[in-house]
Amino acid sequence: MELARLTLGQLGLLLAGAWAVTLALHLLRVRRKRAVVASLQLWEQALAPRPTAQLLSRLRQLLSLLLSLCIVTLLALAFADPTRSTADGGTSVLLIDAGLSMQATDVAPSRLGLALRRAHQLVDSRNPADAMIVVQMDDAPRALCPMTRDAAELHAALGAVHPSRARTRFAPAAQLALQMLRGTLHPKLLLLSDGAFSVDAQLLQRLRASGVVLEHVRFGKRSHNLRVSALAARRYPLRPDQTEVLVEAENGGDALEHPTLQLFGDGQLLQHDTLEVPGHARVRRFYENLGGVGATLRAQLTLDGGTHDDLAADDEARAELTPVAHKHVLLVGPGNRYLEAALLLEEYLDVDQLAPAQYRSTRGYDLVIFDGVAPRELPAAPALYLAPPAGTTQPISVGAEVSRPYFDQQLRAHPLLRFVALGDVNVAHARRLRPARDDVVVASSADTPLLVTGVREGRRFVVLGFDVRDSDLPLRVAWPLLLLNVIEALSPSPTQLPSSTQQDLDARADIAPHSLPWTPPRVAHTHGSAWWTSVHESPWWLLTGAALLLLLVEWVSYQRRWIT
Sites of contact with another protein (CB under 8 A): 30, 32-47, 561, 564
66 three-class SS: helix
- Check whether the bond before 395 is cis (ω within 30° of 0): yes
Q: Are 547 and 74 in contact (CB under 8 A)?
A: yes
From the CA atom positions of the chain, what is the Rg in Å?
43
Our CB check for another protein shows the closer of 45 and 307 to be 45
Our CB check for another protein shows the closer of 39 and 307 to be 39
Our CB check for another protein shows the closer of 13 and 47 to be 47
Query: Min. distance of Cβ 25 from another protein in angstroms?
Result: 15
Between CA 37 and CA 39 the distance in angstroms is: 6
Our CB check for another protein shows the closer of 34 and 525 to be 34
Query: Min. distance of Cβ 32 from another protein in angstroms?
Result: 4
The distance in angstroms from the start CA to the end CA of the chain is 40
User: Smallest Cα–Cα separation from 115: which of 160, 169, 158?
Assistant: 158
Our CB check for another protein shows the closer of 57 and 268 to be 57
Between CA 479 and CA 114 the distance in angstroms is: 68
Give the DSSP letter string of 496-555: ---------TT--S----------PPPP--TTSS--S--TTT-THHHHHHHHHHHHHHHH
Our CB check for another protein shows the closer of 376 and 561 to be 561
Query: Min. distance of Cβ 37 from another protein in angstroms?
Result: 5
Query: Min. distance of Cβ 562 from another protein in angstroms?
Result: 11
- Check whether the bond before 109 is cis (ω within 30° of 0): yes
Query: Min. distance of Cβ 194 from another protein in angstroms?
Result: 51
Phi, psi for 384 (deg, rounded to 5):
-115, 130
Query: Min. distance of Cβ 24 from another protein in angstroms?
Result: 18
Query: Min. distance of Cβ 193 from another protein in angstroms?
Result: 53
User: Cβ atoms within 10 A of the Cβ of 397, count?
Assistant: 15
Between CA 298 and CA 301 the distance in angstroms is: 10
Our CB check for another protein shows the closer of 289 and 557 to be 557
